[in-house]
Amino acid sequence: MAEKLKLLITAGPTREALDPVRFITNRSSGKMGYSLAAAAVEKGFSVILVSGPVDSSVIPPEGLTEFVPVVSAAEMAEAVKSRFPAMDAAILCAAVADYRPKIMETNKIKKKEGAFFLELERTEDILFSLGQMKTSAQRLIGFAAETENLAENALGKLKRKNLDWIAANQVGLPGQGFQSDRNEITLYGVNGETVQLPLTEKKLLARQMLDVIFQ
């Protein structure tokens, strides 16, 4: 029997702490990444799911090889980079915070008179790092959420981050994308492929995506 394809998937948002009780995050539900993980298990792949904090209604599929819960971008970067060398492919679907508070206060920040200024610093671009680590035998797939110039921006990211495929979706449209059960994706491949996957349930979309990428 052929070896199972080893696939790592990231999902959900990250949380970047300001102090023990506050953090910066985003509206990612994790549904797209979890749907991809479920579809990949269904396809018979060996799947590692690395996930930021998601709602308890979003449940990891049965049959995962490993489930790795993380909180911050730094934790996600560590979990992903340490596992990637043993993988055949990775799909990074997580909405990783691009910035985090420069200082994480150990005590709760007290309010004062006047304005409050928060200094942020860049987090690691995990997808970019994997693009640098990638061998010719490994496949790397990223997502691009764009409000404008979808094709141009997605193709720029495909090249800059050394990806094999990028799944681009238009954000800011009602009833699809972030927090929704439905989405619409255009897949761009490194060999010039363009595959349109029309608006549908994320579960079905996940299967269609894997069929294109791992045909």
Task: Candidates 40, 89, 127, 197: give the one binding ligand CTP (CB under 6 A).
Answer: 127
Question: Sign of the CA dihedral 140, 141, 146, 148?
Answer: positive
Asked if 205 touches ligand CTP (CB under 6 A), the answer is no
> What crossing angle do the helices spanning 73-83 and 126-133 adopt, rounded to 10°?
20
Contact 28, 94 (CB under 8 A): yes
Whichever of 41 and 168 has its CB closer to ligand CTP, that residue is 168
Asked if 126 touches ligand CTP (CB under 6 A), the answer is yes
Contact 32, 11 (CB under 8 A): yes
Question: Is 111 in a helix, a strand, or coil?
Answer: coil
Select the span of 16-24, 50-58, 105-113, 143-151 touching ligand CTP (CB under 6 A): 143-151
- Shortest Å distance, C-beta 204 to ligand CTP: 20
Contact 161, 179 (CB under 8 A): no
Which of 26, 162, 183, 191 is the catalytic position?
26
Whichever of 63 and 69 has its CB closer to ligand CTP, that residue is 69
Residues 146-185: x where in contact with ligand CTP by CB under 6 A, - otherwise, as a string: -----------x----------------------------
Angle at 202 between CA 17 and CA 99, to 5 degrees: 20
- CA 140 – CA 153 distance, rounded (Å): 18
**Is 107 among the residues known to form the active site?**
no
* Total H helices, total E strands in the chain: 5, 12
Size of the site for ligand CTP (CB under 6 A): 17
Task: Candidates 39, 144, 154, 210: give the one binding ligand CTP (CB under 6 A).
Answer: 144
- Shortest Å distance, C-beta 37 to ligand CTP: 14
Residues interacting with ligand CTP, by CB under 6 A? 10, 73, 92-94, 96, 98, 123-127, 142-145, 157
